[in-house]
Chains A and B, each alone.
Chain A
Amino acid sequence: MTPFIAELAYWQETVLRGLVGLVAVLLPTGALVYLFLFKMMSFMQSRLGPMETGPYGQLQLLAEFGKFLQKEDIFPAKADRVVFAAAPFVVLVSTFLLVLVLPGGPDAHFIDVNTGIYFALAVSSVSVIGILMAGWGSNSKYSLLGGLRAAAQLIAYELPLVLSVVGVVIMAGTLNMKGIVEAQAGSVWYIIPQFVAFLIFLVSIQAELTQPPFDMPVAESELVTGYLTEYSGIRFLLFFIGEFATAAVFSAIGATLFLGGWHIPFVDVSSEVMNWIGPLVLAAKMILIAFFIFWFRITYPRFREDQLQQLAWKFLIPLSLANIAVTAFFKVVF
């Protein structure tokens, strides 16, 4: 990382990394929830949203946090207690692991693995286990149905997600996320040549995050709130943070893959200054992609379960396979 970190002791560095990791997950999450879920959603419905806590309701998140902390942590009588208690942490761990490989600059990263994007996509699937645990451990029919629906949906949309990324990887010639950013800096941001893949990626992360219109697992009109039904207090809050933190991280991954990550035109991609402004550039691009996620979320009504599966298996997967074939063709020919 930056030079001064080299002078720190190991434990100091570890604590620092932990704190930076927390900030890197919680700050974008709070920003997304306040900007989009509270404010943009309200404006799109011609209302103001939270206005009482702080100027323009800016402290509303703290108020919500305090509210959830005060609530009782209820376990259903016949719940599988260990599984029930552990489920939100599994979901959250998957989110935190995603942040690890996300580069914010030439040296501003937690770990630099050569299979970065592969690692990210693999780790994002861990949250399915957490959701299944929540569905099973709650010992409630709504939770179980919600958990199974979530598992079916996440597995279905994992495929187009991975396949849409393959096009980018073919173009960049590397799985390393830093390598992908540098490859984009060398040619052009991949949103232009890989526009179809970008659209597939947007739809797939929408479904991966179980955001409306893909929120069958938490369809409140039929399943109360799906796998969240029996959760209360801090554990519900952890699921909530996990959901929106994953939205933030997936937006950042999308920004890295398609919008050039921390790269901005006319600035050398590996210059020292990018370590400092790079994370801000990445955050700005992340907010741009998250804007689309939340815009779709606010606009569209929910898919029916069979429509949802049809879209994935009959439309997105063939389209992404075709995209891979075309990309590979151009890569070989030109």
Chain B
Amino acid sequence: MPQLPGMLVGLGVTAKTFFKTVFPDGPTGPPAPSKGAHTVQYPHVKEAPPTRARGVIALHQDNCTACMLCARECPDWCIYIEGHKELAPPRRAGGKPRQKNKLDRFDIDFALCMYCGICVEVCPFDALFWSPEFEFSEMKIADLLHDKSRLADWMETVPEFPAYEAGSEQKVRKVPAT
């Protein structure tokens, strides 16, 4: 049977994983499966997610212009935006008052969201960011609708934007993450 050597190798793989899991310190050490296993016992031990993990979406309110691009691109239509126009003082004395879009409502329904990140990609004003936080489960499904203040709170958990490699300074974003 030509398959036989391969079958024995397969048995070896599982046996090796078994001993690596049960005896992480080598055959002389005490059996310690909790140390040898690659998994983490979640409620007791918390794993630090990678900084760029896609946990929850944060909103930087000042940057949002209510342009609705994210809401239109969202495949699940889980972003709800309402706004109105406001007059802001002119930049220079004697100038015409500026018109600004003021955000009234910015909700993301995380019960619908599929964490595709298209809204973060599409935002032209860097108002949306990924945060690696993942513990925001709720007892009621309606509570998964995060309003703009709650989305703004996630901004504290957004990691610093990583530095670009040397020679590409002109690409650095004008707006800092915080």
Contacts and interface: CB of A to CB of B under 8 A. Distances in A.
Interface of A: 40, 42-48, 51, 295-296, 298-300, 315
A35 B34 CA distance: 16
Given A46-B38, A46-B39, A300-B7, A40 B13 contact: no
A79 to B, nearest CB: 35
A44 B14 CA distance: 5
A44 B16 CA distance: 8
3 shortest interchain CB distances as A-B pairs = A47-B39, A43-B21, A44-B14
Given A295-B11, A300-B7, A300-B10, A40 B39 contact: no
Interface of B: 1, 7, 10-11, 13-15, 17-18, 20-22, 33-34, 36-39, 41
Per DSSP, are chain B's interface residues mostly helix, strand or loop, or mixed?
helix
B32 to A, nearest CB: 11
A48 B13 CA distance: 18
B38 A43 contact: no
Contact of B10 (A40, A42, A51, A299): A299
A290 to B, nearest CB: 15
Contacts of B21: 43-44, 46-47
A205 to B, nearest CB: 17
Nearest to B19: A43
A48 B20 contact: no
A43 B17 contact: yes
A46 to B, nearest CB: 4
Contacts of A295: 11, 14-15
13 contacts: A42-B37, A43-B22, A43-B33, A44-B14, A44-B21, A46-B37, A46-B39, A47-B37, A48-B34, A48-B39, A299-B11, A299-B14, A300-B7
